Amino acid sequence: MEKYLEVLVDVAHQMGLEIVDVEFVNNDLMALRIAHQDFQAISLDTCVDASRAFGEAIDFEISLDVSSAGAEREIEADDFHTLTEQYVLVKFKNPFQGADYVEGTVVHVDDEMMRLSYQVMHRFKEADIPLNNISMCRLAVKV
């Protein structure tokens, strides 16, 4: 199964996608969760196109179950720098300004801080959050 994964990762990158999660269900089935590299939403058509491209790349030797990684997928710390202008939920290791988490739009990320614009009541605020105080960061849906 690992031999297929290398090929599939290359195909995904050519399509502007990334494979976020892989599960080897059995010897004949691999479940893949995909996402756009630019964090845009994945449509059903994109899943179908990716499934077809992946199948052709491995000559349909095994079955593939291709689905979206989801609108609220967790982001690894190595990828924080790619989150500019994305709406996220950030949970803290230690409370930050009296809160355990905050939802807002990422303004900037550097090696030590994430600047987040968020709303408190009817006012917008910005805060610099130390990266070493972030326990979890995921995309969020703004309602």
Residues near 93 by beta carbon (within 8 Å), at least 6 away in sequence:
132, 133, 134, 135
pLDDT tens sequence across 102-124: 999 999 999 999 999 999 888 99
Domain positions in the chain are 2-68, 77-139
CATH number of 2-68: 3.30.300
pLDDT tens sequence across 11-53: 999 999 999 999 999 989 999 999 998 888 899 999 999 999 9
Q: Classify 77-139 by CATH class.
A: mainly beta
